[in-house]
Structure 1
Amino acid sequence: MSRLAAGVVLVTAHEAALDPDGPRGEDVGMTATSFMSVSLDPPLVLVSLREGSRMDDLLAEQPLWAVSVLSDHQRTVAARFAMKNRVSDRLLFDSVPHTRGSTSDAPLIDGALATLECRTEQRVAAGDHTLVIGRVLSATSPTSAGTDTGPLTHFRGRYRQLSP
């Protein structure tokens, strides 16, 4: 499957928690290449998550999440969130410019080609992965992403830029 080029997205969610001083939580994010549009009416998308991953566990409890479609200028962001065995996501977001989604409260990455806020509609077990189907609650294509950039793609184990 490494011979199939895929777009690169960042899937994010906000893990709400309570502490004695009031509500707080942690933002969670992961790079994904198994992401696709499922339906236009209603607007549905699908992301494949490794079973038992932090994001899989979080989305089993938290129905709201977001997707940022990364541009070819965001390779470092994709690599940063693809790291395995990290202890905390909190520090990962510190140096990545983002805004908070108005519906999902999840981080939306600045400079992304498009952002989507979603609510889980269905989860399907598929081998060692979970397919999460989400209803798109809002979608934007920020003008700040510019027109001189293309999508970040992944092919044969490396991030690639599409030729103009």
Structure 2
Amino acid sequence: MSRFATGVTVLTVGGEHVHAMTANAFTSVSLDPPSVLCSVGHGAVMHSALSSAGRFAVNILGAEQEGLARHFADKKRTLGAAQFQGVDWSAGEHTGAPLLAGAVAWLECTLTDSHVFADHTLFIGTVLAAGQGDDADGLLFVNGRFGRAESPRPAAH
């Protein structure tokens, strides 16, 4: 699976147990209603944070945000609100979850279903709101390395 190129997201929850986690096991599920799926390991702090919050945000990272991806993937970072020190973000209107500045897009979701499978839970969220940032290239992860997904450019006439 390391050969399968994926986009890179940061999942966030707000409220009393604010938390973030880098995730690339993320996909769209349905357009009607708009919904998404993320897979979180049972041992991850995000697993209990997302389960108890019932709402979350997905920040789709741009190519220039590799540092954020690495930060929120670091299991040694300080947890709680302190993990956001030095990170530019604003609270989502619908979820209170951190929306990271510079993300190419973001989604605010309510947790609508979950399915336990092996050592992970598949969390399904219905999209409450969405937005997009600047037309920047996306951040990819493939073969153990970060890369750039170039945004299509309009054809010259």
- TM-score computed with the length of structure 1 as normaliser: 0.87
Report whether the alignment pairs 1:50 with 2:37.
Answer: no
Partner of 1:160: 147
Aligned pairs (5 A) from 1:64-75: 64-75=55-66
Aligned pairs (5 A) from 1:17-96: 26-96=17-87
In structure 1, stretches of 5+ residues that fail to align are 17-25
Distance 1:162 1:103 in 2: 29
Distance 1:104 1:58 in 2: 13
State the 1:91 CA deviation: 2.3
Distance 1:163 1:52 in 2: 34
Question: Alignment partner of 1:74: what SS?
Answer: helix
Q: Is the 8 A contact 1:9 1:31 kept in 2?
A: yes
The 1:41/1:158 distance shift into structure 2, 3 A limit, reads same
Matched length: 151
Report whether the alignment pairs 1:9 with 2:9.
Answer: yes
CA-to-partner distance for each residue in 1:75-98, whole Å, 9 max, x for gaps? 000000001144414222111111
Question: Alignment partner of 1:73: what SS?
Answer: helix
- TM-score computed with the length of structure 2 as normaliser: 0.91
In structure 2, stretches of 5+ residues that fail to align are 152-157
- Indicate the percent of aligned positions where both proteins have the same amino acid: 38
State the 1:51 CA deviation: 0.9
Answer with 153-162 or 32-41: which moved more. Answer: 153-162
RMSD: 1.4
State the 1:38 CA deviation: 0.1
Question: Alignment partner of 1:104: what SS?
Answer: coil
Aligned pairs (5 A) from 1:101-120: 101-120=92-111
Structure 2 counterpart of 1:40, one-letter code: L
Partner of 1:20: none
Report whether the alignment pairs 1:150 with 2:137.
Answer: yes
Q: Is the 8 A contact 1:15 1:58 kept in 2?
A: no
Q: Is the 8 A contact 2:59 2:107 kept in 1?
A: yes
Partner of 1:23: none
Spell out structure 1 runs of 4+ moving beyond 4 A: none
Q: Is the 8 A contact 1:2 1:156 kept in 2?
A: yes
